[in-house]
Amino acid sequence: MADPTPALSLSLLVTARQTVAEGIVLFKFQARDGGALPLVSAGAHLLLRTPSGLLRRYSLCNDPAERHRYQVAIKREPHGGGGSISMIDALQVGGHVTAAAPENYFALAPGATRHLLIAGGIGITPVLAMARQCLAAGTPFTVIYCARGPEQAAFLDVLGETAMAPHICTHFDGGDPARAFDFAADLKDVPAGTHIACCGPRPLMQAVRDATRHWPKDSVHFEDFGTSAPPAGGEGAFTVHLARSGGSVVVPHDLSILEALRRAGVSAPCSCEAGTCGECRVGLLGGQADHRDFVLNDDEHDTAIMICVSRAHSLELTLDV
Ligand code: FES
């Protein structure tokens, strides 16, 4: 099976760091040799090794046309796996990191005539790059940016610039779910040619998912690198049967199917491990899945499963693995 970790071929120097919102730090990188960096498109992310040795993915937020620098904004997650704490507490100007050439699983839909870009919290990072790309290309777009309050919202200065401001709608809910943005009302109509790109906490993505079930298939796109913890665990254990390779693996309540397979020596393609990129899709041959991803449409639920987040309603699943 393929090694899911690409080579960390880039050596990047930290040229600046700046707090851009409560608990959010913007890092600016350039190549250590001063050369041009690989070209990216909006929505791309950087896989880098943090000072603590962990591998983490962060969306690029600078103008995608820039070749002389990359920028990522990172939210310090005290209860995360330690990657963001390591970056923010240990990486200073003059320090360096190694990274893989950026990849993009969240690119703007090429056929769209208008983009609706929805961000929650730190999910603004890829959305900011998308907004910059739309502005440069003259593509119609609107950003809906949801946060607890202005103090927790990054890049309000950039979003308030003259050219950008007419495209931006901010919504602050004070952390009260009752005051959350009303996506059901806002996304009721389906403008022809419009594509949605959404990045944010899981409840926000779920609200967008629920509000767009009547939208055309493949017109709504999600990403979740580091914006919220995926629901890797569940209430009970179940067993997955591997139809092609043979054998069975028990998935305990505190592991995802993907992780249980790994521990059993069965590797599988994956990337986001958050149910948004589509990399870990596996054929579902039997059993009733508990789908928790933002990739599959309702009409695919009987035949496929995203094994990084989804679980089982039945005691057994049969997978095309
Ligand atoms: S690894 Fe991205 S959806 Fe599962």
CATH number at residue 301: 3.10.20.30
Judge whether residue 245 has pLDDT over 70. Answer: yes
Q: Report if residue 161 sits inside a domain.
A: yes
Average pLDDT on 87-94 reads 97
Same domain? For 69 and 122 the reply is no
Same domain? For 196 and 121 the reply is yes
Confidence of residue 209 (pLDDT cuts 50, 70, 90): very high
pLDDT tens, residue by residue, 142-151: 999 999 999 9
* C-beta of 275 in contact with ligand 1 (< 6 A): yes
Same domain? For 123 and 172 the reply is yes
- Alpha carbon distance 173, 16 (integer Å): 31
Q: Report if residue 106 sits inside a domain.
A: no
Domain count along the chain: 3
Strand order through the sheet with 24-31 = 55-59, 45-49, 96-99, 10-21, 24-31, 70-75
Q: Which of 199, 202, 308 to mutate to test the pocket of ligand 1 (most atoms within 8 A of CB)?
A: 308
Could you write out the DSSP letters of every residue in 122-145? GGHHHHHHHHHHHHHHT--EEEEE
Q: Report if residue 4 sits inside a domain.
A: no
Q: Report if residue 2 sits inside a domain.
A: no
Same domain? For 32 and 90 the reply is yes
Average pLDDT on 240-265 reads 94
Mean pLDDT computed over every residue of the chain: 93
Given 171, 196, 223, the domain boundary residue is 223
Same domain? For 131 and 218 the reply is yes
pLDDT of residue 231: 54
* C-beta of 273 in contact with ligand 1 (< 6 A): yes
Q: Report if residue 230 sits inside a domain.
A: no
290: domain range? 238-319
Same domain? For 242 and 218 the reply is no
- Alpha carbon distance 203, 57 (integer Å): 21
Taking phi first (over 0 means left), then psi (-120 to 50 degrees means alpha), and beta for anything else, what does residue 109 get? beta
* C-beta of 23 in contact with ligand 1 (< 6 A): no
Q: Report if residue 232 sits inside a domain.
A: no
Query: Cβ of 33: how many Cβ atoms within 10 Å?
Result: 8
Q: Range with the lowest mean pLDDT among 76-80, 83-87, 303-307?
A: 76-80
Q: For residue 182, what is the domain's CATH number?
A: 3.40.50.80
Same domain? For 69 and 134 the reply is no
Confidence of residue 236 (pLDDT cuts 50, 70, 90): confident
Average pLDDT on 217-239 reads 74
Q: How far is the CA of 295 from the centre of ligand 1 (A)?
A: 9
Looking from the CA of residue 293, the nearest atom of ligand 1 is: 3
pTM of the model: 0.87
Looking from the CA of residue 309, the nearest atom of ligand 1 is: 4
Average pLDDT on 33-46 reads 96
pLDDT tens, residue by residue, 162-187: 999 999 999 999 999 999 999 999 99
Same domain? For 33 and 94 the reply is yes
Judge whether residue 294 has pLDDT over 50. Answer: yes
* C-beta of 271 in contact with ligand 1 (< 6 A): yes
- Alpha carbon distance 249, 253 (integer Å): 13
Q: For residue 50, what is the domain's CATH number?
A: 2.40.30.10
Judge whether residue 192 has pLDDT over 90. Answer: yes
* C-beta of 276 in contact with ligand 1 (< 6 A): yes
Average pLDDT on 40-53 reads 95
Q: Report if residue 30 sits inside a domain.
A: yes
Given 68, 99, 130, the domain boundary residue is 99
Given 223, 250, 279, the domain boundary residue is 223
Same domain? For 120 and 217 the reply is yes
Contact 116, 140 (CB under 8 A): no
Same domain? For 49 and 83 the reply is yes
Same domain? For 95 and 118 the reply is no
Same domain? For 89 and 134 the reply is no
pLDDT of residue 5: 67
Q: Report if residue 209 sits inside a domain.
A: yes
pLDDT tens, residue by residue, 91-100: 999 999 999 9
What letter would DSSP give residue 294? S
